[in-house]
Structure formats: C-alpha cells, structure tokens
Amino acid sequence: MKALVVDDQANVRLLLSHILRTRNGCTVSVAANGREALALLVRESFDIVVLDLLMPVLDGVETLTVIRRTPALSQTPVIVLSAVRDERKVRQLLRLGIAAYLTKPLRPLDVAERIQQILDRLGDAPAVADDGPAERALAARADLRPQMIAATEQLFGLMLGIEVGAAGTREPLTSGDDVASAVLRLEREAVDLEFAITAPRAMSERMTAQYLQAGDVVTDADVSATLREFATIIGGRLQTALRQRGDVVSLGEPTVSRLGAEACERAGGIRVTYTSSAHDLRFMTTLRAVPGARLARTVQDADRRIEDPAHVHAATPATAG
C-alpha cells in the first residue's frame, strides 16, 4: 500500500510516516501542503491520503475539493487528521467524501489501528450476487460500501457522540424495526438505489434520547426525525460519491417507516451491521438496487404508513402496545 501524508508540520509528517511504515506496512511519501500533494498525486498513484486541514498555500478542504473533482483521484480514500473541531467543517468534509476524520493531537496507536481498519476495508470484496440487472447495477457500485460505512460511523460520532463500528456479522431484518430510507434515483438507468438505516425500536429510542439529551421527552416523531436526518445525510454522501463516478443521480425525500411482514422481502443488497459495545447498540445500513417502478410504490407505501398511525399498528403486530 502506498500512502501520502500531507501536513505542514515536519514533526507530524515524521510521526505519521513512522506509524504508516512500521505499523501499517505502507510505503510513504510526504507533502508539506496541498499544492505539493496534488503535484505528487498526479504523478504517482496512492492507495490512501492522510490530510491535514490548516496548511499554508493550499489547505486541506481546497486540496480535497480538487482531489474529488479530478476523475483519476476522485475515489482515493482520504483520512483527515486535524485539530480543528468545527462541526460545519466536518460536515463539509463529509459531503466531499472522506474515509475518516481523526483528531489531533495524534494518538499514534489509535491512528495506526484506524488506518489499518480502513486499509482492510479497501481490500474487502463486497458480497453481491450477480443474477439480475438490479444486482449488476449494485455490483458496479460496490465501491460505495466503504463510503457508506465511513459516513455512518462518522455521523454517529459527530451527532450522537457514540463510537460505532462496522461488525463482521450480518443481522436479519426484523419485523418492528424502524427503517429510514432515501432513494438515489439514477436518471440514466431503469434501476434506482435505496439507502436504508434499519434500527431495532429500542435502539432508535435510546439514540434519540441521547441526541435530545437526557430528560427530554422522546416521541415517535423525534425518532422519525432523527432517522430521517441520518438517512438524508448519509444518502447525500452517497449521492456525492455517485456523481463523482459520473452517475446522474438525485436524492429523493427520505421516508421513515416500521418494518412489517415485508421484512424478508428487503433481503439482499450491500448490508452492514454496526455495533457499539459501550452503548450496547446494534443497527444496520443497506444499499440495494430496486427497479424504478417498484421503488416508487415502496416510497408511497412508506409515506402512507407514516401518515396513518393505524396502518403502523396494523403492519407491526409485534410492537403494538
């Protein structure tokens, strides 16, 4: 693996290079600012870039913007490592597309571990069956998997202060789970993509309670609003990634529903389970391809379920009462 470290501070470059070389087995090049980095990136191919934010000449956001707009570099994983803790800045980075956001001062062993997780993920082969146009459309976009994982992990850390990580297990979808989905309409294809975050009811309430901070009343509307916001943000990140690939894509209005008997119909797609041992959380994100016509019906169904509470109870006998 070839890594590029971009930081204006010589001691940070030295320490990061040492970690990447000795702990992660990378061959490392360094650059002191964004301009130097871009000059190297157009000459050589790198598997991963570790980027500082505040730098002279060309800062981290400007550099990342150029990287994402350059077709040959747009898919290069970029880890941002910075002492900046500005939420707006982090959101801007998430929209541009980053593999991780790590804070300074450097905790070298943590950095080595996170970088190793990301490098391992790069080598993951997604399990997508190639048995139909929808599956083929999804398989062609299997590289979205690490971006879906990174966006989800970062969002939980950023908005809820909960560290979650993708787990190796695949959980079945269960009747009664809350599911927030956002449709990514692929304009040039007969297939659309659907991103969904699926959470057991108890977890939805717990994470919303944390979001609203202890003591606030948690209602179904709050749970829905949080999940919908999550689906919008992660869906937006996937939309950006798709556009960088050259897809013409628009993000539909997210919907929230509760899984009923159709739970088993939603099997398939790129499915990732997340856990947080500290908070005993377990939830899932999925990205699946759906024929456009069927998807439209699915969205309408979900809308109807939200607007009609009686329908929710009718569809989810497991959670009634």
Helices (H), the chain: 10-22, 34-43, 60-69, 87-96, 108-122, 133-139, 144-155, 201-212, 220-244, 292-307, 309-315
241 touches another protein (CB under 8 A): no
User: Which span (18-26, 90-98, 196-204, 234-242) binds another protein, by CB under 8 A?
Assistant: 18-26
Cis, bond preceding 105 (omega within 30 deg of 0): yes
Strand partners, 80: 51, 101
Number of C-beta neighbours around residue 254 at 10 A: 25
CB under 8 A: which stretch of 106-114, 132-140, 194-202, 267-275 binds another protein? 106-114
- Closer to another protein by Cβ: residue 18 or 170: 18
Cβ distance to another protein smaller for residue 38 or 55: 55
Name which of 30 and 186 has its Cβ closer to another protein. Answer: 30
User: In Å, what is the CA distance from 173 to each residue of 213, 220, 231?
Assistant: 28, 20, 17
Cβ partners under 8 Å of residue 268, min gap 6:
129, 135, 288
Does 18 sit near another protein (CB under 8 A)? yes
By CB under 8 A, is residue 36 in contact with another protein? no
- Closest distance of CB 39 from another protein, Å: 22
**What sign results for the dihedral spanned by CA atoms 91, 92, 96, 102?**
negative
Residue 266 one-letter amino acid: R
How far CA 108 is from CA of 25, 154, 246, in Å, comes to: 15, 20, 37
Question: What is the per-residue binding string for another protein in 107-146, x denoting contact by CB under 8 A?
Answer: -xx-------------------------------------
Write out the two tokens for 58. Answer: 């060309």
Among 1, 9, 75, 291, binds another protein (CB under 8 A): 9
> In angstroms, rounded to a whole number, what is the distance separating the alpha carbons of residues 157 and 162?
5
* Nearer to another protein among residue 94 and residue 111 (C-beta): 111
Position among 11, 169, 213, 277 found at the interface with another protein (CB under 8 A): 11
Region from 14-22, 89-97, 133-141, 293-301 binding another protein, contact rule CB under 8 A: 14-22
Report the site for another protein in 66-105 (rule: CB under 8 A).
83-84, 104-105
8 Å CB contact between 291 and 134: yes
Q: Which of 4, 5, 6, 8 binds another protein (CB under 8 A)?
A: 8
Cβ closest to another protein, residue 105 vs residue 321: 105
Total residues contacting another protein by CB under 8 A comes to: 19
Interface contacts to another protein, rule CB under 8 A = 8-12, 14-15, 18-19, 22-23, 54, 83-84, 104-106, 108-109
